[in-house]
Every structure is written in C-alpha cells, then in structure tokens.
Chains A and B, each alone.
Chain A
Amino acid sequence: QSVLTQPPSMSAAPGQKVTISCSGSFSNIGNNYVSWYVLVPGTAPKLLIYENNERPSGIPDRFSGSKSGTSATLDITGLQTGDEADYYCATWDTSLRGGVFGGGTKLTVL
C-alpha cells in the first residue's frame, strides 16, 4: 500500500487530455514539493515535473503539474502513442523522514 494514491490505470485517445491524480496527506504533499516521473520499461526513469509545476529543460509544455492541499495532478495534453508509460508522483514525507512514491499509473493511449 503506497503512501501516495494514484489511479492504477488510465486510458485516452491520441490528441486528448488526461489528468493523473496523486493523493496524500498533510505530512507529505501538504507540506512538501511534488515531482512526477515517467518510466518506460528498459529505460531510465525520467523527471517530468518538480517543485509541483516546474518542467526541466527538454520536457514539452504538454506536461504540466499542479498541487492543491494534499493532492497533486499531472496533466498531459495532446496525447501521443509515445506517451504510453507508467507515471509516478513523489514527494518527501516529513513524518516518515523519507521519500514516498505513488503506486504508479499505467497510461494507455488507445
């Protein structure tokens, strides 16, 4: 059971928008920055969003993040088949004194 809760799977058609949610608590999302990562099997995980809504260089603006209270979301617009992957949210948990990840969301682009 992950500390952060994500939907296990989501699907959408090419060109559409998907919103992946990440729910936590006061000690983690409520008090710390959130980041998002994409994981394609066989490749290194990649940072998509940090500090809730900042994109590293090279990440297209189709990817955006936000945070409100103890929840965060990752929006992906203009879906492409190449976006099919597992997406994870993450943050620091002040009470646990450690990092925490969501359980991951498998995105299928139909």
Chain B
Amino acid sequence: EGQLVESGGDLVKPGGSLRLSCAASGFTFTSFPMNWVRQAPGKGLEWVSSIGTGISGYKYYADSVRGRFTISRDNAQSSHYLHMDSLTAEDTALYYCAAGDFLLSNSLDFWGRGTLVTVSS
C-alpha cells in the first residue's frame, strides 16, 4: 500500500514563500503522476497542481496559483514538491499530496494526511 508524507507547512507572512515536500514509499513512484490538493478551513477540496511522470512530464496549475506556485519531482528521491511564492491569506489551507493519474483515469490512489500552511501577518 502506498504511503505519502507531506512536510514543510508553516506560518508565513503575506508575500512570503514556502516549499512543501511529499515523500513517497510503498509503490513505484516513477510510474505515478503526482498532485497537490488543498482544503481551506471550513471549505471543500480544491485541486492545486499535477505533474506527470518522466523528465518532460506535464505540469498543470489551478488558475488561483498559476504563476506563483511551481510543482516539481525528484524520482531518485521518490519525492515531489510544491514551491509557493507570493502567498496570500487565501492560500491558507491543509495541503495534501496525492499519487495518481488525475488527468486520464481520474484516480488519486494514495493520499497523505496533509501539511498545514497558514498565511498571516
């Protein structure tokens, strides 16, 4: 059974930056597209970003984060990342990483428990 563990969440001031990490184990990491999904306090799930497999894998972003967030992966480390710049209060959320092909089969097979990002002065 695949396992994902997020880290890097923190309290950051508006305009600040943060990098989230997601460590994967228990499955063939290189075969899975990876994704970030967030849940703001009292709100529902919101898709944030997806990255395909391989060096030239696709990268997609939600309109709300495009130009500010960057997704990446390191297959050698079985990890993927979300670099977040120009953070605002609207980015405050629990950020989940998820493994699976959201684009084609629309399945996020494995999820982590999330890491909390709070943007506040």
Interface residues on A, range: 20 to 34
Q: In the complex, what residues of B have CB within 8 A of residue A2's CB? A: 44
Q: Is the pair B109, A44 in contact by a Cβ cutoff of 8 Å?
A: no
Count of A-B contacts with CB under 8 A? 81
Distance (whole angstroms) from the CB of A1 to the closest CB of chain B: 11
B45 at the interface (CB under 8 A from A): yes
Instruction: For the A-B complex with A39-B39, A39-B45, A88-B45 known, give 15 more contacts whose Cβ atoms are closer than 8 Å.
Output: A2-B44, A35-B106, A44-B111, A56-B107, A88-B44, A90-B47, A91-B106, A92-B103, A92-B106, A98-B50, A98-B62, A99-B50, A99-B62, A99-B103, A100-B47
Chain B residues with CB under 8 Å of chain A are 4, 35, 37, 39, 44-47, 50, 60-63, 96, 98, 100, 102-109, 111-114
